[in-house]
Amino acid sequence: MKGRRVAVTGIGVVAPCGVGVDAFFEGLCAPAPVGPRILEDFDPAPYFDNPKEARRSDRFSQFALAAAEEALAQAGELDADPARRGTFIGTGVGGIQTLEAQIEVRLEKGERRVSPFLVPMMMANAAAATLSMRYGWQGPCENTVTACAAGTHAIGNGARMIADGRCDAVLAGGSEAPFTPTAVAGFGNMTALSNSGVSRPFDANRDGFVMAEGAGVLVLEEWDRAVARGATILGEVLGSASTADAHHITAPAPGGTGAINCMQLAMEDAGITAADVVHINAHGTSTDKNDAAEAAAVAKVFGTPGPAVTSTKGVTGHALGGAGALEAVAVLAAMSKGVIPPTAGHEQMDPDMPEIDLVLGAPRPWTPGPSLSNSFGFGGHNGTIVLGPG
C-alpha cells in the first residue's frame, strides 16, 4: 500500500461461535454447527450507560460497539489527535431489524406510534456513528455498503486513510444483524440458503449458505506511531483492492474473472507476487456458483495446489456485510496462534473444481506470511485485503 505503513494494534469480534478473539478462534477450530448462526445470549447492556441507550441502538450497532470495545482495550492508549482518528464500518443491510419492527408497528398501531428513533437506528452509517460518538473520534466517519464485500472494503478504505496521511488511527470493520422474517424469506426464496442448515464450502454437496450475524473491528494505526508508543503490533495491512464483475445481480462472473482481477490488484498494491502469498481466507460461501468461481480464480492466479486455503464460513456461516471483518480477524488470530483453522463442514471435494490446497480436518500449523482475505458480494462487488504478520 503506497504511503505510510498501516499497523493493526487491536482486534475485536462478536460471533455466534464466540464473543472475544480467543473464544472466536476456538470456535473456528471446532466442528461445524447446524442451522442459522445467531448470537442467542448476546447482552448489549454492558456496552451502554443505561437500558434506554441500548434500546435506541439497532442490534448491528450493538455488535460493532462490543467488538470495538475489545479491539480498543487490546490496542491500549492511543496518542492521535481526535480529529485524525477515523471510523469506517461496513454493513450489508444495516438496521433492518429496526426497520421491519417499525413497519409492523405502523401497520398494527398506526403512523403516530412509529418510533422517532427509526431513522437514526436503521441508517447504514449508524454503527460508524455510534463508535465515533462513543469514543469522540472526530475524523472521517464513513461506511461502506457493498453487500457481502462491505467489511473487507471498509478495512481497505480505512487503511488507505492512514496510508494517505488523512488519519493516524482508524476503527475499521463490519457488522451485521440480518435476521428478520422478511429478510430470511427473501434469501430463502432466491434459493441462496442451505436447505440442510450446514455450511459446506467447496464441497461437492454444498447447497447454499447459512445466514449469520456478528461483527469484527480492527484498530488500524500508522506504523511509526504504534512503534513509538510501544504498542503490540498484531499485523499489517499491506494492500487492498476493489473491483466489479459487471455481470449479474447475484451470480459471479464465469471463471471468477472479477475475483482474479481483485486478487491481482491487491497483491500489486501490497508490492508482492503470487509466490509470496502463503494463505487465503476464501469467501467460500457454500453456494454452487460462488465456490466454483473462487476456486477457479485461485487456481488461475496461484496455480495448483497454491497457498493454504480455508473458509471459516463453515463455522461462522455468512454474516453478509460483516463477513469480511470476521475473516480479517480470523487471519490475524491465525497469525498470532500459529495455526490456520480448518474448513469445517467440508467432506468431499467437488471433482469439477480445480485443485486448491484446502485446510481440512484439523488446524494446520504454519509460518505466518502475506495472506489474502477475499469477499465477493451480490451485485458483483469484489474485495481483497492483504494482511501480513506484525
Q: Which amino acid is at 55?
A: R
Tell me how far apart the alpha carbons of residues 145 and 153 are, in angstroms, rounded to a whole number.
9
Residue 78 lies in a domain: yes
Residue 212: predicted pLDDT = 98
How many helices (DSSP H) and strands (DSSP E) are in the chain? 13, 14
> Is 153 considered catalytic here?
no
Tell me how far apart the alpha carbons of residues 320 and 84 are, in angstroms, rounded to a whole number.
29
Taking only the tens place, the pLDDT of each residue in 299-357 is 999 999 999 999 999 999 999 999 999 999 999 999 999 999 999 999 999 999 999 99
Cell 504454519 found at: 366
Residue 295 lies in a domain: yes
Tell me how far apart the alpha carbons of residues 67 and 130 are, in angstroms, rounded to a whole number.
12
Residue 220 lies in a domain: yes
| Residue 376: its H or E element | strand 371-377
Taking only the tens place, the pLDDT of each residue in 54-91 is 999 999 999 999 999 999 999 999 999 999 999 999 99
Task: Provide the residue range defining the domain that includes 68.
Answer: 6-389
Please give the grid coordinates belonging to residue 275: 509466490
> Is 248 considered catalytic here?
no
pTM: 0.97
Burial 284-317 (b: 16+ CB within 10 A, else e): bbbbeebbbbbbbbbbbbbeeebbbbbbbbbbbb
> Is 148 considered catalytic here?
yes
**Bridge partners, 214 (sequence order):** 176
Position 1 pLDDT exceeds 90: no
- Domain count within the chain: 1
Taking only the tens place, the pLDDT of each residue in 316-326 is 999 999 999 99
CATH (domain of 342):
3.40.47.10
Residue 211 lies in a domain: yes
Q: How would residue 238 be classed by pLDDT, with cut points 50, 70 and 90?
A: very high
228-248 average pLDDT score: 97
Residue 1 lies in a domain: no
Tell me how far apart the alpha carbons of residues 306 and 36 are, in angstroms, rounded to a whole number.
32
User: Out of 279, 318, 346, 381, which one is annotated catalytic?
Assistant: 318
Burial 140-178 (b: 16+ CB within 10 A, else e): bbbbbbbbbbbbbbbbbbbbbbbbeeebbbbbbbbbbbb
Residue 254: predicted pLDDT = 86
In percent, the amount of the chain with pLDDT more than 70 equals: 100
User: Out of 148, 167, 346, 381, which one is annotated catalytic?
Assistant: 148
Q: What is the DSSP letter of 84?
A: G
Residue 153 lies in a domain: yes
The alpha carbon dihedral of 44, 118, 381, 36 has a sign of positive
